[in-house]
Amino acid sequence: MAILEILKYPEPVLSRVAPPVNNITGDTVKLLNDMLDTMYAAPGIGLAAPQLGISQRVIVLDVNHENPHKQVYKLINPVISRAEGSVIWEEGCLSVVDFTAEVRRAARVEVTAFDENEKEIKIEADGLFAVALQHEIDHIDGKLFIDRISRLKRDLYTRRRKKMLRTGVVPPADNARILI
């Protein structure tokens, strides 16, 4: 198990659609476990392979941040098969430094995916779990949550981020927030 580097916006891989996993191998299982270690160390409640520079449709989640390791999801090739309702949720992201914003998402989703044992699973989710699933599936579709906010807010953040990169001044991590 390893803790990997989480890439930050504006890394190009974060805006690319990841291809599906064709064969679930030992390398896939190792990736899932490394992703979990990385997510917990960040700390976060979800992580997608593209955030680590790995262009694969693989995500991990554990939205029960008060009791970690109790409800872990390791999903390969997840697809939202049904979405209903609407909710606005304040989101942050491990790949988007020092920024949160309200994002409109489906209130309830049904997701189908494969687990590490090649078993097809179906998940019904609402609340934070539904938001986290949509957020991570966006990552494997080449989208960040800032792609879902107003152009003005996104442009303001982009300018601020470019200044951070240019000056080398990055604000300290705020561990009080839950990041997806």
CB distance 45 to 62 below 8 Å: yes
CB distance 132 to 63 below 8 Å: yes
CB distance 157 to 148 below 8 Å: no
Q: Residue 166 to residues 6, 8, 139, 156, 178: CA-CA distances in angstroms? A: 19, 14, 25, 15, 27
136 is catalytic: yes
Active-site entry in 11, 66, 120, 136: 136
CB distance 125 to 108 below 8 Å: yes
Q: Evaluate the omega torsion of the peptide bond into residue 171 and state whether it is cis, within 30 degrees of 0.
A: no
Taking the C-alpha atoms of residue 158 and residue 167, their distance in angstroms, rounded to an integer, is 14
Q: Any idea of the CA torsion for 37, 43, 45, 48, to the nearest 10 degrees?
A: -60
Residues designated as active site: 136
